[in-house]
Amino acid sequence: MQVPLYHPADLAHRVLSLMSVCGDRLTLGVSPGSTETDFATLDRDYTARFATFYRNTGRLRVLLAHGRDEHADLTRAAVAGGRPALLLGSWGANVERAARDFDGWLASGYRRSPDQIIAAHERYRAAGGRRAIVCAIPLDSRDDLEPTGEVLRRYARAGFDDAVVLIGSGGPDPEEVRALLPRESSTP
């Protein structure tokens, strides 16, 4: 979720509503955003996305944990048990920030190579990071099944906790993707 595109109280209210259904199973992937078009569509300042992200994430954490802050009272929607895990989807120096300040890290397979992702994962773990998920691994056809399987096995050997594969409309059945890895390390 690109946090700067939302008002933090509105976002908190939506998340708290989801928590009433999901409970502690809800995990949120949060990001400053990387697509300028998304910001232009909603008349948001793309150049200020990092500052807006950190400011809004701070307020979002308070609202999710307590159901209120000095400007909003969302307690009727609040769920007992605290806030959901927040996983940071970002790159560069933010990989270490994900390890320090968030509950985990989301590495996007969309714009990075497996070598870049694995190198960043090593930095993340060295900084004390816990949960790491590589996501947005594209799989558009059955012809790509074995190369994708090799990439998934590399991520498993590197120590990623989970992987999210985006299967295109002409892609294989999800069970074929799950079969690429041993059951204990497979969560496509």
Q: What pTM was computed for the model?
A: 0.86
Cα–Cα distance between 113 and 137 in angstroms, integer? 10
pLDDT, residue 83, reads 83
Per-residue pLDDT tens digits for 86-126: 999 999 989 999 999 999 999 998 889 999 999 999 999 99
Q: What domains, with CATH codes, occur in the chain? A: 1-86 (no CATH), 90-188 (3.20.20.70)
